[in-house]
Amino acid sequence: MPEEGRPYPWIRWSGTAFQRLLPWLLVLFIIAICCWFHCGGHLSKQQQRLLEPQMHLAELQLNITDPRKDPTLRWGAGPALGRSFTHGPELEKGHLRIHQDGIYRLHIQVTLANCSSSGSTLQHTATLAVGICFPTAHSICLLRRRFGQDCTVALQRLTPLAHGDVLCTNLTLPLLPSRNADETFFGVQWVYP
């Protein structure tokens, strides 16, 4: 018959049994700690990457410091240029380099400086283009449009971009884009892996 007050009489611990199990318990505890630090840290980084919202985006303003000698438009970001920033992509010599594979929404608006609504023959043939200019193996035009009789061209599209792609924008010479940040801007936003 079991004694009163002992719900499980068949379990009896003696001091020697506990002393024999103590080293094994310590070894298991140390292994568990090592696994937690080794595997747990790695998993938490992966989980963190999956759970964090991907904020790869850039909103750029025109950065003209000297007269245009080639059709390439140079962009900049930072407080000196107003409401512009980069988070993820980075600027290299006025071009935007992508650091995350995925599908991006590209948008650009360029307004011509000193433009009249009647338009000139030069304005009719003026073209705005956005493309991947590096690496040259992936060089392709992503957006292109003529101004026609308009003073402003605004374009957008979803497109897959890869890590290392550099985006360039071109405007037909000798036309000058407006420096007004509300009239001329360029940006990308990562929307899907």
- Residues 172-193 have pLDDT tens digits of 988 889 999 899 999 999 998 8
pLDDT band at 51 (very low <50, low <70, confident <90, very high): very low
The percentage of residues in the chain with a pLDDT greater than 90, rounded to a whole number, is: 49
Burial class, 101, CB count within 10 angstroms (exposed 0-12 / middle 13-18 / buried 19+): middle
- Residues 130-166 have pLDDT tens digits of 999 998 887 899 999 999 889 999 999 999 999 999 9
- Residues 64-97 have pLDDT tens digits of 766 788 899 999 998 888 889 999 999 999 999 9
Q: What is the pTM of this model?
A: 0.70
Residues in contact with 22: Cβ distance below 8 Å, sequence separation at least 6, in sequence order: none
pLDDT band at 8 (very low <50, low <70, confident <90, very high): low
Closest to 70 (Cα-Cα) out of 90, 98, 93:
93
Supply the pLDDT for residue 106. Answer: 97
| Cβ neighbour number for residue 111 with a 10 Å cutoff | 19
Supply the pLDDT for residue 15. Answer: 62
Region 111-132: what's the mean pLDDT? 82
**HSE, side-chain direction, 13 A CA sphere, residue 91:** 20
- Residues 94-111 have pLDDT tens digits of 999 999 999 999 999 999
pLDDT band at 58 (very low <50, low <70, confident <90, very high): very high
Output the six-digit token pair for 155.
């374009």
pLDDT at 53 over 60: no
Query: Which position has the token pair 């007050």?
Result: 5
pLDDT at 1 over 90: no
Residue type, 143: L
DSSP 39-100: IIHHHHHHHHHHHSPP--EEEEEE---S---SSEE-EE-SGGGSS-EEESSEEETTEEEP-S
pLDDT at 117 over 90: no
More confident residue, 115 or 49: 115
Burial class, 121, CB count within 10 angstroms (exposed 0-12 / middle 13-18 / buried 19+): exposed
